[in-house]
Structure 1
């Protein structure tokens, strides 16, 4: 094999390896809803929105959660193969063809929060029925924070009921605000997410993580899983 061909083969292998190792992306959408609109909002999410998002090319799963501590009350997490899913033609087309039901309920969101993030420092696997969400301070060294979160996740993984933990690092360009999202004090902070199999495990993991990371527990929230849909389940 010539030197040029060998070099090209090495470069192609490196490119393919990087693509395979590219981190997952995640869309994090949280909001409150007026009591009078909750019934229709929940039906829209359950009957239309979750499946609609899960069908977008590049999306892996779509899940709904409801707060049991802190807030906002409703949370949607949408995992993708990579951040490129949020710049794809399929994702843009989904916004161009929104149904009247979607338009109405997106406008019903109160104190909404939309973040498109890279998923980093993942520890564990699977989906837990209990979710802890802990906003963190803006780091001076993002790479050091990723290492720290991986270390914390390793410590938490020894606890009973631990399922998975990961860090969401918001992308400023992709995290466009929702229509009613306030821009006055909007901060794109890193978010630690901890998934557990039991409520007591979730509460304990959140306390331990907040203490270990010198974060403020009062800014955290805990959620219970309502339901989750994987793209591979769709027919």
Structure 2
């Protein structure tokens, strides 16, 4: 099924083993609901994997438009973190963050697993053709492609953007391992369509948590910051 809205935020990160349980509690009970409760956010999902050689967590936020990432409400939750968020931020590692405008989608069913393909395109390419070709792979239920743009709040500047992609390809399916079996094919398809300014990175995950805007409890919705007149 198509992603809701016209933009999304893709986030990859690791966390130490000793902080993993608290990270999951915080992410489920506070962090994702706080974000998804902001006007303009539609849904949020957390995925995880224990596979070596890739990030442990992937988080996906669906939003109405990319403008929400520059809204006063969103910038406020970043600038004024809760005590739990302030304590958790320094523990995050290997963070990659990509805000994307959605180019297009194919497929009609959301999957319980997702393959995330980070592409640094070396040339302009037929983005729709890449979506359609990936959607023909076995066990794939939906495919989405986003065109990334730079929008990094000051609080996140300490995290390197060396891995910042030009495109993020999301391939949903029924099972992490079945999607992982397509890793070579996805790399080859991404390279064949877009070329590559660096290595095409493919990760695969299982869905761990998801919430929509309407499901966020009122107690977790942050009030919009007060704008005071200078008069």
Q: Same fold (TM over 0.5)?
A: yes
* Inter-partner Cα distance in structure 2 for 1:93 and 1:176: 10
Paired residues of 1:23 and 1:118 also in contact (CA < 8 A): no
Please state how far the C-alpha of 1:220 moved relative to its aligned partner.
1.3
Paired residues of 1:111 and 1:180 also in contact (CA < 8 A): no
Gaps of 5+ in 1: 1-21
Please state how far the C-alpha of 1:74 moved relative to its aligned partner.
1.1
Paired residues of 1:68 and 1:222 also in contact (CA < 8 A): no
Q: Deviations over 1:187-225 (max 9, x none)?
A: 333121101012354234444332333379983111111
Equivalent residues in 2 for 1:75-224, closer than 5 Å: 75-141=58-124, 144-156=125-137, 159=138, 161-172=139-150, 174-176=151-153, 178=156, 180-183=158-161, 185-214=162-191, 219-224=201-206
Q: Deviations over 1:76-132 (max 9, x none)?
A: 111101111112222122223320100111111111111111122211134211111
- Identify, as 1 or 2, the structure richer in helix: 1
**Could you tell me which residue of structure 2 aligns to residue 49 of structure 1?**
31
**Could you tell me which residue of structure 2 aligns to residue 24 of structure 1?**
6
Secondary structure class of the residue paired with 2:136 = helix
Gap change, CA 1:59 and 1:207, over 3 Å in 2: same
Gap change, CA 1:48 and 1:229, over 3 Å in 2: same
Paired residues of 1:58 and 1:80 also in contact (CA < 8 A): yes
Paired residues of 2:120 and 2:200 also in contact (CA < 8 A): no
Q: Which runs of 4+ in 1 moved over 6 A?
A: 215-218
* Inter-partner Cα distance in structure 2 for 1:186 and 1:201: 25
Q: TM-score, length-normalised on structure 2?
A: 0.79
CA-atom RMSD, angstroms?
Answer: 2.5
Paired residues of 2:111 and 2:172 also in contact (CA < 8 A): yes
* Inter-partner Cα distance in structure 2 for 1:182 and 1:93: 22
Secondary structure class of the residue paired with 1:72 = coil
Q: Deviations over 1:12-68 (max 9, x none)?
A: xxxxxxxxxx96211111111112221211111011111111101011101101124
* Inter-partner Cα distance in structure 1 for 2:100 and 2:175: 26
**Could you tell me which residue of structure 2 aligns to residue 11 of structure 1?**
none
* Inter-partner Cα distance in structure 1 for 2:211 and 2:165: 27
Gaps of 5+ in 2: 193-197, 218-231
90-99 or 200-209, which moves further after superposition? Answer: 200-209
The answer to whether 1:59 aligns with 2:36 is no
Greater Rg over alpha carbons, structure: 1
* Inter-partner Cα distance in structure 2 for 1:98 and 1:126: 35
* Inter-partner Cα distance in structure 1 for 2:118 and 2:126: 13
